[in-house]
Amino acid sequence: MASDLRRVVITGCGVVSALGFDRITLFDRLLVGDNAVRTMPQWELPGATGTLLAAPLELPHEKILSLDRKLRRSMAPVAIYAVLAARDAIAESGLSDEELTNGTTGCAVGSTLGSPSAIHETMRLFHESGLENLPAQQFFKSVSHTAAFNVANVFGLTGALLAPCSACASGLQAIGVAYDEIRLGRQTIMLAGGTDEATPEVAGTFEQLFALAHPAPGQDAAEAIRPFDANRSGLAVGEGAAVFVLEERAHALRRGAKILAEIRGYATNASGRQTSQSDEGAIERCLAAALREASLQPANIHYISAHATGTRQGDLAEAAALARVFGNAVPVSSLKAQLGHTMGASGALELAVTLEMARRNTLLPTANLTAPDEACAGLDLLRQPRRTALRYFVKDCFAFGGINAVLVGEFSPPAES
C-alpha cells in the first residue's frame, strides 16, 4: 500500500500577517526584530485584570477592494485574509484556471471558530433589531467554514472542501488533511492553510483561562511575550493567514512548477484526558508518529518551529516532549513573541516563515528569550539568528482539548545565500 501513496510538495505560498503581506517581507521584519504586539486600551472588557495585549494587522483598504464586491459580501476578515493569501499562493504556483476548476483541486482552510467578529455582530444585530433585520449574508460570514468556502468560491474550486475547526491546531490540521487527500489519490492539488482574527472577545477568552500575558511594571508590550523564558506570563492574540498550494509531486514536475518543499510526514492525535493543558506524553507520541511516517530519525531534523505560546504550562509540556525526542541536538525557536499567537493561522504562518528560513540558510530566534527557564533545559533554544543549512524541519501545534499536530517537511531546492 505504501508504494501506492503519492508524494506531496508545496508549490506556492501566500501570507497575510501583522508584519507583512508576503513571506519575504515577514521574514525580513522578524529578522530585524520588529514586533507587532501592543497594548489595546480600546479593548477594555468587564472583568479583565488589566489592559489587553494583541498583535493586530492593518490591512490596506486597496487590498480589500481588490476582491470582487459581489463575492466580498459573504466575507468577514477571517475569510478576506484567507482569500488574499490563497490568491498569492496560486500566483506563485502558476496554476491555470483550468487546473483550479476541473475537479482535481480542492481546499482545506482551518480557523478557530470561523469569524469571531461576525459572530459578535450577528448577536448584536439580533438582540438590537430582531431576526427580521438581520442581513442574510451575516450567517455566511459567521459559520465555522466561512474561510474555506469563500476560498473555493472565489477561485472556482470544485474538488474537496474541508474546514478543520480545532482551535490553535486548525491551520496545521488543514495542511495535514490536504496532504492526505493528495497522497491517497483523491485530489491532485489542494489549497491549504489557516486563518484567524484577533478580537476583544478572543483575548478575553484567554484572559479567563489565565493564559493572556500582562506586561510587568515598566515593561513594553513588545517585551511581554517570552516563550521558554523563566519570566513568561502568557500570550497575546494575533491574526492573519497563510495558504499553500499542495500538489502531487509528479504533476508539479510535469508542469514545470518550482517546488518549495516536500511534506514528508504528518500526524495528529489527542491526549484523551485534557481540556486546557498540553500533555507532554501525547505530544511525544505525535512527534514520533510524524517522524515514522517521514521515515526519518530525530537526528535527521535540522530545525523545529515550536508552538511555544509563552504560557507557563504549555511551554513546559512542549519542551519536555521535544527534549525526550530530540535532546539538545536540534535548534528550536518560536515566533509568537513577535507575531502574537495567531491561533488557527499559527501553524500555517510559522510554516511559511520556516520555508523562508530554509531558503535563506538562516534560522530565526525566539525574541525576548533572555533567561531560559531551567525547566525547559535540554533544548537548543535559539536566542540569536543562526546561519546554517536547513533541509529537514518539524512544525508542531497544540490546541485546547488535548489536540496535537506535527508536520515534517524537506526543503530540497538549492538554498540562496
CATH number at residue 274: 3.40.47.10
Please indicate, yes or no, if residue 63 is contained in any of the structural domains: yes
Last residue of a domain, one of 199, 220, 254: 254
**Are 297 and 152 within one domain?**
no
- Tell me the mean pLDDT in the region 361-380: 95
**Are 371 and 314 within one domain?**
yes
Which long-range contacts does 128-137 make (Cβ < 8 Å, 24+ apart)? 137/73, 137/74
168 among known catalytic residues: yes
With 80 as the cut, is the pLDDT of residue 397 above it? yes
**33 against 51, higher pLDDT:** 33
Helix axes 77-93, 116-129, angle to 10 degrees: 150
**50 against 176, higher pLDDT:** 176
Sign of CA dihedral 312, 318, 323, 329: negative
With 80 as the cut, is the pLDDT of residue 3 above it? no
How much of the chain exceeds pLDDT 90, in percent?
Answer: 84
Which long-range contacts does 370-377 make (Cβ < 8 Å, 24+ apart)? 370/226, 370/229, 370/231, 371/229, 371/230, 371/231, 372/228, 372/229, 372/230, 373/228, 373/229, 373/230, 373/232, 373/315, 373/316, 373/319, 374/230, 375/316, 375/319, 376/228, 376/315, 376/316, 376/319, 377/323
pLDDT tens digits for range 67-113: 999 999 999 999 999 999 999 999 999 999 999 999 999 999 999 99
Question: Which among 165, 302, 307, 376 is annotated as catalytic?
Answer: 307
Q: What is the 3-state secondary structure (H, E, C) of 151-204?
A: HHHHHCCCCCEECCCCHHHHHHHHHHHHHHHHHCCCCCEEEEEEEECCCHHHHH
120 among known catalytic residues: no
Note if the pTM is more than 0.75: yes
Please indicate, yes or no, if residue 415 is contained in any of the structural domains: no
From 237, 231, 90, select the one nearest 154 (Cα to Cα).
90
Please indicate, yes or no, if residue 158 is contained in any of the structural domains: yes
pLDDT tens digits for range 117-143: 888 888 888 888 877 778 888 889 999
Q: What pLDDT does residue 52 have?
A: 85
pLDDT tens digits for range 256-297: 999 999 999 999 999 988 788 889 999 999 999 999 999 999
Domains identified in the chain, total number: 2
Last residue of a domain, one of 215, 231, 254: 254
Q: What pLDDT does residue 315 have?
A: 97
Residue written as grid cell 492525535: 269
Question: Which among 13, 168, 286, 376 is annotated as catalytic?
Answer: 168
- Tell me the mean pLDDT in the region 305-320: 96
Residue written as grid cell 472583568: 47
145 among known catalytic residues: no
Q: What pLDDT does residue 273 have?
A: 85
Contact 190, 197 (CB under 8 A): no
Q: Which residues pair with 375 in a beta bridge?
A: none
**Are 187 and 295 within one domain?**
no
Rounded Cα distance, 64 and 23, in Å: 19
Rounded Cα distance, 271 and 282, in Å: 5
The whole domain housing 303 covers: 264-410
Last residue of a domain, one of 227, 254, 281: 254
Q: What pLDDT does residue 415 have?
A: 46
Question: Which among 13, 107, 341, 397 is annotated as catalytic?
Answer: 341
